[in-house]
A and B are shown apart, each in its own frame.
Chain A
Amino acid sequence: DVVMTQTPVSLPVSLGGQASISCRSSQSLVHSNGNTYLHWYLQKPGQSPQLLIYRVSNRFSGVPDRFSGSGSGTDFTLKISRVEPEDLGDYYCLQSTHFPWTFGGGTKLELK
């Protein structure tokens, strides 16, 4: 299975500040069709996970432009600018290039 490694595990931030989360895969996530199936999810406290970013850098419907994704191959980054209280929670990357689909271990975004 493809191992997804997220860092850091915990990320203290100040409101209005910026956060950056790294996700690295044990093998390239470039599919034979040329697409890269790396996605980001946020699970807020007491809620189910929600899709933020799909295929590396595409924001899902309703996701504010404070969230941005980048990367290629095996290294990917989620950046959150101007952090707001509703951004706090657990962030997960997910790869679906290779079967079975696998998640990163998660990053907890919390207040400093």
Chain B
Amino acid sequence: EVQLQESGPGLVKPSQSLSLTCSVTGYSITSSYRWNWIRKFPGNKLEWMGYINSAGSTNYNPSLKSRISITRDTSKNQFFLQVNSVTTEDTATYYCARSGVGALFDYWGQGVMVTVSS
């Protein structure tokens, strides 16, 4: 069974970088699919942030493009999210998710809550 699990610090200071890991089991991230990051803000709004595909190419939401980076470690079957210069507006629950064609997110991690605060 495919499983995804996010990990990372729950508290980040403003102006610093947020770094999260998504560990995938049951499927190789180099085989197929896109591997996404999505976040849910305290007001319940969802935002798709970006993905890395099985070939290693990335695609980012333009609203975040200057601050975001998604990378991977194929030897560990993990992919990563980095958001630079965070503000309190980046406080959210962050999810990693697998998608096929057309943003069909079929497997999700359980989510990790990140608070940006001094």
Identify the A interface with B (CB < 8 A): 1, 35, 37, 39, 41, 48-51, 54-55, 60, 90, 92, 94, 96, 99-103, 105-106
Q: Do B44 and A90 touch (CB < 8 A)?
A: yes
A57 to chain B, nearest CB (A): 14
CB pair A54 B95 closer than 8 Å: no
Chain B residue numbers with a CB within 8 Å of A94 are: 46, 48, 103
Number of A-B contacts (CB under 8 A): 52
- CB contact list, B90-112 vs A, under 8 A: 95, 97, 102-106, 108-111
Other-chain contact of B104, A39, A48, A102 (Cβ < 8 Å): A39
Q: Is the CB of A103 within 8 A of B111?
A: no
| Inter-chain contact B46/A92, CB cutoff 8 Å | yes
Interface residues on chain B, number (Cβ under 8 Å): 20
What residues of chain A lie closer than 8 Å to B48, measured between beta carbons?
A: 94, 100-103
A86 to B88, CA, bound (A): 34
In the complex, A106 Cα to B97 Cα: how many Å?
19
Contacting residues, chain B, for A39 (C-beta < 8 A): 102-104
- Looking at B45, B61, B102, B108, which has the most chain A CB atoms within 10 Å of its CB? B102
